[in-house]
Structure formats: structure tokens, C-alpha cells
Amino acid sequence: MRILVCGGAGYIGSHACVTLCSRGHHVVIADSGVNSSPRVLQRLQRLVGAPVSLHRVDIRDRRAMAALFATYHFDAVLHFAALKAVGESCRKPLDYFDNNIGGTIALLQSMQEAGVRRLVFSSSATVYGDPSQVPVREDAGLQALNPYGRTKLVAEQLIEDLCRADDRFRAANLRYFNPVGAHPSGLIGEDPCGEPNNLMPYICQVAVGQRDHLRVFGGDYPTVDGTGVRDYIHVVDLAQAHADALEYMVSADRGFTVNLGTGRGISVLELVHAFERASGQRIPYEIVERRPGDSAEVFADPALAQQLLGWRAQYDVDAMCRDAWHWQAMNPQGYRSPLRRAAAPRVERPRRAVARLAGA
């Protein structure tokens, strides 16, 4: 298939492009560059062994999008293009509504105009809010706890309404749990701007010495060790799921909504210790107050994805940590780093002493 990948220069989209190309699909990327580096293109081309088209286009730019649809005659669209920082969304809700909701509406209009009726949408476990039960099934109650979460919920609803209005339109809503890790080559990975919001990139930056220590948000949750539990999923597993979802949507000629997670909950400290084992680096941490809006425990019931798509996560937490570390060690400054040939040696660097308040 010829596939338009909106937001394909970003973290998850770039991995999905590699998988799609490896299955013989042809990808064209549209990315505004708001949270991506143009350097990803060279890395992607190295990985897929062929030229990849990357267009610097905002999905809200209807003229530029119309030109893309006219040039390439796409069979389907993968829609990763969104802003994703929860804290920033609370400070700048209108930017999030404009980019994520406005962007989705504009993209759907461009698709409709071009007669393209297959969409795979990057949704999030955030649509479950603070789930009342774990593992979380797709039929659990939905709730937005912040403006970012609202954009995902609204986008899902817009897409559902469009499917009702146009019985030829097919959409797959993929609700990701906590994507982590990187391509095993170390060529592409997660490259957050500024201070990372999420746990794994923060651990990685501590490991390469860019941050002093990790702050663990809360040590008194009713969980295995008092720290928050999440369902971390390797980004390569997630990428495979996109290709499976698209291929299933075409062969079964139906839309669907599925969770993408491993079904296994991992605590913050379990992840820290797994990372230490995988990297040989010590990750100093201190336990601080809970982060407002956090849940104690969120993990997926991934049975529906297995039943419909035949998809199941293959990588365990050790592989997630190994590949996250490999990427970070090869690219300490993300895409700003000149690519190193091999992983950085395991050097213990002097650190400021940090109290380890638990699990030392």
C-alpha cells in the first residue's frame, strides 16, 4: 500500500515507517517539524535501504495536504501528528485543541476530498482517565483528566462520527499504553526537547549524566513497592501493531478500537532496576511527592488486539531497557549528536550524592 504517515518523523511514527517498509509498503511522511528533527530522514533511509519522502507539512495546511494527496494517491493514512506533553497542555490548552483536534479535522477533510477512507489513529490509554479497574479493557469508561487527554478523546469521537456518516470510511483507534525503547540498531529513538515528562527518557538522561538523579513521584501507592505501576511497551512491538492493524482493517474491511500494551504492570522502581541491569549504570533516585493527576496502577488487557490482529507484544522489560540505553548511549544528545559507531563504554562518572530513600 501507499501510506501517508502524518507525524512520521517523530518517535513512534519513525519506527512504524521502518516496519511498514520492511513489509513492502511505500511510505510518505508529512511532518511539521514541531517535535522532530530533519536528521531522522537520513537514519530512516539507512534503516530501510531506500529513499523515504519527508515533506515538511502541517496537517492543518489544507492546500499543502491536497497537493500531497494529489501527487501520491494514498491507500491509507497513519495519523501520529499531535502535541503530547500533558503539563504543557494544561498551560496552553488552545494550542493543543488547535493542533490535535483542529489537525485531525483538517486531515479528515483532506482525506474525504481525496477519497481516501482508511485511517489508523494514535490514541492513548489517557482516554481511560483514572481507570476504576485493571487490567483495562476497551469497554472501560472514558474520561479526560487534562487538555491533552481531551484532544485524544475528542479525536476518537470525531472519527467515530465520521465512520457513522460515511459507511465506507474505516478507522483503527490504537490506544497505546506506555511506549518506550528504541529500534535495536540505535539509529532512531525518542528525543525529547528539554526536560523529559515521561519516566524512561528521564532515566536515560540520568544514565548518560545529563540529569543528576530521578525523582520518583510517590512511594506510598497501594502497589508492589509503593511506586506507580504502568504497562511499558517496546516501540518496535507498537510499530508492528500498526502494520497488523492496517492490514487487518483492509482484509476484514472493518474499523476497531484496541489497547496496545503488554498486559503486565511494572513499577517505577522495577523499571529503574531493570535499566540498571541492562545498562550497567547506577540510577540514583529520590522519592518525592506524588505527581498530581497520576494513577496508582494502569495496565492493559491486550486480549482484543490478539484476538483481532493476532498481535502480541514480544519484547520484555529487559529488551525495552537495553534498546532505550543503546539509543541513548549512541546518541547522548538525541538527533543533535553525531552518530557514534558503538554504544558508549560503561563508565562510572562522579555524581553528586543523592539520598536513595528506598530500595537501595
Question: Which residues from 23-42 bind ligand UD1, rule CB under 6 A?
Answer: none
Question: Which residue stretch of 38-46, 195-203, 258-266, 351-359 sits at the interface with ligand UD1 (rule: CB under 6 A)?
Answer: 195-203
In angstroms, the CA 44 to CA 37 distance is 12
How long a stretch of residues is the chain? 360
In angstroms, the CA 271 to CA 337 distance is 26
In angstroms, the CA 244 to CA 225 distance is 36
Pick 103 or 255: Cβ nearer ligand NAD: 103
DSSP character at residue 297: B
- Joined together, the cell numbers standing for residue 231 give 504497562
Pick 65 or 265: Cβ nearer ligand UD1: 265
Smallest separation, CB 291 to ligand UD1 (Å):
5
Residue 259 binds which one of ligand UD1, ligand NAD, none, with CB within 5 to 8 A depending on kind? none
> Does 153 interact with ligand UD1 (rule: CB under 6 A)?
no
Q: By three-state DSSP, how is residue 198 classified? A: coil
> Does 275 interact with ligand UD1 (rule: CB under 6 A)?
no
Q: By three-state DSSP, how is residue 277 classified? A: helix
In angstroms, the CA 338 to CA 335 distance is 8
Which of 144, 197, 250, 282 is close enough to bind ligand UD1 by CB under 6 A? 197
- Joined together, the cell numbers standing for residue 214 give 530521578
Which of 80, 202, 256, 325 is close enough to bind ligand NAD by CB under 6 A? 80
**Residue whose C-alpha cell is 525495552:** 320
Q: Are 74 and 116 in contact (CB under 8 A)?
A: yes
Whether 148 is catalytic = yes
DSSP character at residue 145: S
- Joined together, the cell numbers standing for residue 233 give 511497551
The residue annotated as part of the active site, out of 11, 128, 148, 202, is 148
Question: Which residue stretch of 80-88, 247-255, 313-321, 348-356 sits at the interface with ligand NAD (rule: CB under 6 A)?
Answer: 80-88
Q: Site residues (CB under 6 A) for ligand NAD?
A: 6-7, 9-13, 30-36, 58-60, 80-84, 99, 103, 122, 124, 176, 179, 198
Q: Site residues (CB under 6 A) for ligand UD1?
A: 86, 124-126, 148-149, 178, 197-199, 202, 214-217, 228, 230, 268, 291, 293-294
